[in-house]
Structure formats: C-alpha cells, structure tokens
Amino acid sequence: MRVKLKKRLKGYRGDFILDVDLTAEEGNFITIFGRSGAGKTTLIRMIAGLLNPDDGFIEVNGKVWYDSNRGINLPPQKRNVGVVFQEYALFPNMTVEENILYGMERKDEELLEKLLMLTELTELKNRKPQSLSGGQKQRVALARAVARKPDILLLDEPLSALDIDMRRKLQEELLQIHHAFSLTTFLISHDFSEIFRLSDRVFVIDNGKVIKEGKPDQIFVQERLSGKVKFSGEILQIKKEDVVYIVSVLVGNNIIKVVADPEEIQDLSVGDRVIVASKAFNPFILKS
C-alpha cells in the first residue's frame, strides 16, 4: 500500500500542509502517532474517501483509489475499507446481529458466527445497542467494520474512552481479528502500551509530516539510565536474546529496556508492575 497525500489544514499554530508519504506492507498493523492537530484523523479520513485531498495518490494492492493527476477518486463505498471511530455509530433500532450483517455486502452466516465468537458477542446477538456497555458497543462496531471483508481496517482511537481493563481485553481481541482476517490495519493511538502491544510499525506525524517511522521499540525506547535510578512501570515485553533477556518496561510515556538474567525474570510476566532500579550503575528489575 502506498499513500502520498497533501491537504491544507488549519491548526492551533496556524495553517499548515499535511504532506504524508508512507508505504505499508500488506498484513501489517500500523500505528499513526502524534499530538492532537497533527493531521492523523485527516489522513485516515482521506484514505477512507470521507475527505478529499488537495493532491496525491492512494494505491492499495495494485488498485488506484485516488490519483489527483489522473482524476481518479473512488467513492467510500468502492474502497474496500472498514472504519471504526471513537463514536460507535450503531443503528439503535437494530440488534447486535443486524448491525453486523449491515456491514456485509451479502449475508454470510459463517462469517457472522466467527465475528460473534471472536468479539464474544454470541450471547448478546439479539440485544440492541442501548442495553450494551461501552466495551460491548465497541465490539459491535469493530465486528461490523470487519464484516465487509476490508483490505484496510482504519481505527481512530477506538478504545480511548474505555477503562484500562476493558481496553486491554479489546486490544487482545483486536489483534486476534487482525491476524484471523489477514488485515492491513491503521490505528491512531496516543497510548504507548497499546502501540507497543499491537504495532508492527509506527509512523510519527508532527505538523503534517512524518518525522519518524519504525518498529515501536525503535521509536519510543529510552535506553539511557543514570547512576541513581528508581522507576515504577509496567512490563510490555520479555524477549530472549542469546543467554539474557531484554525486558521492556513502560515508565510514564517512555519505554525502558533492561537486560535481565534468567533468574531475574522467573516470576515476571507481561503486564506486571515492576520497579527498575540501578545498583553500581547497572540497572536491575524487581517485581513491585
């Protein structure tokens, strides 16, 4: 997939040009990261065909969706995308099952059952949105977006309004769906732990331009530790490298990598709260 787009925008610092050129491999989970007003949602809306760029092109799986020079601009219904925003946008007069079926081009009972199972909505399929929790509504919105068998799944901070436990559960379900349907997924997120758990690649946008791209640990990891350090954080990843382990810990808005031996990581797992401290300039990790 190749996206090269320009759009003049108004920001809190005045007018600026969203000028993005990015390439994503099919099947990757991509996160778009940046401060509010950087142009992230505008980019997602232009890919979906909900907003017209000023210039550029979009090509997905060899098919051109938009090309300003050739006058090509496929309408949203002809772009094979699924979109989930923060607002659930469910039909209140339809049941869970009917909302999901609405996303399909033609009724597919096997796909419906698979989506209901993956999103844990099977027991709720005959209920209407007003009787659902926020997390359940977001599951329905996600299932409906995937029901159309999209080439691209676009997610604009879909989990940001949920509490941390529900968000973590839906992150796991989202990753399951991403892999189960071999999707190319774009997520807008400000949540560092979410980005680290889900993403294959991150594009950082600032003032309309991509200023960094790479794997999450390449973008966000802070590896420098001073001589006297004591941090509290959450384990995001434990990775074996040769005879040692690299433990990635979320501390505030930074991710710190700590080298640990097998004994140190015996009772540690992803999600644990830990203390990262230093002793004689060598960082070590303790379960808190």
The CATH number covering residue 275 comes to: 2.40.50.100
Residue 115 parent element (H or E): helix 109-118
Give yes or no: residues 61 and 177 share one domain. Answer: yes
* Cβ partners under 8 Å of residue 110, min gap 6: none
pLDDT tens, per residue, the chain with 288 residues: 999 999 999 877 789 999 999 999 999 999 999 988 899 999 999 999 999 999 999 999 999 999 999 999 999 999 999 999 888 789 999 999 999 999 998 899 999 999 999 999 999 999 999 999 999 999 999 999 999 999 999 999 988 878 878 888 899 999 999 999 999 999 999 887 788 889 999 999 998 999 999 998 788 765 443 445 567 788 999 998 877 889 999 988 788 888 887 877 888 889 888 877 765 445 556 554
Q: By residue range, what is the domain housing residue 90?
A: 2-219
Residues 6+ apart with CB under 8 A from 152: 1, 47, 60, 79, 80, 81, 82, 183, 184, 185, 186
Q: Which of 164, 193, 219 is the last residue of a domain?
A: 219
44 and 131 assigned to the same domain: yes
**Last residue of one domain, picked from the residues 168, 191, 219:** 219
Domain boundary among 219, 236, 261: 219
- Looking at the structure of the chain, the number of domains it has is 2
State whether 125 and 30 are in the same domain. Answer: yes
And the tokens for 235? 């384990």
CA distance linking residue 260 with residue 282, whole number of Å:
10
Q: Say if residue 163 is in the same domain as residue 267.
A: no
- Distance, in Å, from the CA atom of 124 to the CA atom of 97, rounded to the nearest integer, reads 8
DSSP-derived secondary structure letter, 133? -
Q: Do 175 and 275 lie in a common domain? A: no
Torsion of CA 194, 151, 173, 241, to 10 degrees: -50
**Domain co-membership, 69 together with 196:** yes
Residues 200 and 247 in one domain: no
Residues 151 and 281 in one domain: no
Question: Contact 246/258 with Cβ under 8 angstroms?
Answer: yes
Do residue 75 and residue 191 come from a single domain?
yes
> DSSP secondary-structure letter at 279?
E
- Taking the model in full, what pTM does it have? 0.78
Regarding whether 74 and 6 lie in a shared domain, the answer is yes
Cβ atoms of 167 and 159 within 8 Å: the answer is: yes
**Is 184 found in the same domain as 255?**
no
Instruction: Please tell me whether residues 15 and 36 are part of one structural domain.
Output: yes
